[in-house]
A and B are shown apart, each in its own frame.
Chain A
Amino acid sequence: MRTTILMALFTQVAGATEPTALELLTKTDDMMRGQSSSATVVMDVRTNRYERSMSMQMLSSGSERTLIRILSPEREAGTVTLKVDDNIWNYLPKVDRTMKIPNGMMGGRWMGSHFNNSDLVNEQRMSDDYTFTMTGDEGSGWNLSLTPKPDAPVVWGRVELDVGVDQLPTAARYFEEDGTLARTMSWSDVQDIEGRRVPMTMTLVPGDAPEEYTRLTYQELCFDVDIPANTFSLQALRQ
Chain B
Amino acid sequence: MRFLASIAWRNLWRQKRRSLITAGGMAVGMTLCMALIALMDGMFADMFRVMVEQQLGHVQVHNPEYPGKRVMYDTIEDASAVVASLDALDGTVAVAPRAFGAALLGGEAGSTGVQLQGIEPERESALSSLSERLVHGTWLANEPDHGIVLGYRLAEKLHVDVGDSLVAVTQATDGSMGNEIYDVVGLIQTGAAQLDRTGALIHLADLQELLLLGDQVHEITLLGADDSREGIAALATDIQARTPDALVQTWWQTSPPTDQMLSLRDSVSFLVLGAAFLVAAFGVFNTMMMSVLERTRELGVLRAIGLRPGRLIAMVLFESIFLGVIATAMGLVLGGLADAWMVVYGIDLSGYMESGFAYNGVVLEPIFYGHVRPGGILLTVAAVFITSVVAALLPAWRASRLEPVVALRHD
Residues of A participating in the B interface, judged by any CB pair closer than 8 Å: 45, 47, 49-50, 52, 73, 75-76, 79, 90, 92, 94-95, 97, 99-102, 104-105, 108-109, 111-113
Q: State in angstroms the CA–CA spacing of A66 and B112 once bound together.
A: 24
Question: Is A52 a contact partner of B174 (Cβ separation < 8 A)?
Answer: yes
Question: Is B73 a contact partner of A102 (Cβ separation < 8 A)?
Answer: no
| 10 more CB-based (< 8 A) A-B contacts, given A79-B177, A108-B104 | A49-B73, A52-B174, A52-B175, A52-B176, A76-B176, A92-B179, A99-B111, A102-B104, A104-B112, A112-B171
Question: Is A112 a contact partner of B177 (Cβ separation < 8 A)?
Answer: yes
> Total A-B residue pairs with C-beta atoms closer than 8 Å?
59
Kindly list chain A residues whose C-beta atoms are within 8 Å of the C-beta of B73: 49
B117 within 8 A of A: no
Kindly list chain B residues whose C-beta atoms are within 8 Å of the C-beta of A101: 104
- Which chain B residues (176-208) contact chain A, with CB distance < 8 Å? 176-177, 179-181
B105 nearest CB neighbor, chain A only: A99
A83 → B minimal CB distance (Å): 16
The 5 closest A-B CB pairs, nearest first, are A112-B175, A92-B179, A50-B175, A95-B181, A50-B174
Kindly list chain B residues whose C-beta atoms are within 8 Å of the C-beta of A52: 174-176
Kindly list chain B residues whose C-beta atoms are within 8 Å of the C-beta of A109: 171
Kindly list chain A residues whose C-beta atoms are within 8 Å of the C-beta of B179: 92, 94-95
B335 within 8 A of A: no
A72 → B minimal CB distance (Å): 12
Contact of B113 among A73, A90, A102 (CB under 8 A): A102
Kindly list chain B residues whose C-beta atoms are within 8 Å of the C-beta of A105: 104, 113
Contact of B104 among A47, A79, A95, A99 (CB under 8 A): A99
B92 within 8 A of A: no
B363 within 8 A of A: no
Question: Is B180 a contact partner of A94 (Cβ separation < 8 A)?
Answer: yes
Question: Is B175 a contact partner of A45 (Cβ separation < 8 A)?
Answer: yes
B20 within 8 A of A: no
CB 8 Å contact bits of B106-117 with A (1 = contact, 0 = none)? 100001110000
Question: Is B174 a contact partner of A99 (Cβ separation < 8 A)?
Answer: no
Q: List 27 A-B contacts (CB under 8 A).
A: A45-B175, A47-B175, A49-B173, A50-B174, A52-B174, A52-B175, A73-B176, A90-B169, A90-B177, A92-B177, A92-B179, A95-B179, A95-B181, A99-B104, A99-B111, A99-B169, A100-B106, A102-B113, A105-B104, A105-B113, A109-B171, A111-B177, A112-B171, A112-B174, A112-B175, A112-B176, A113-B175
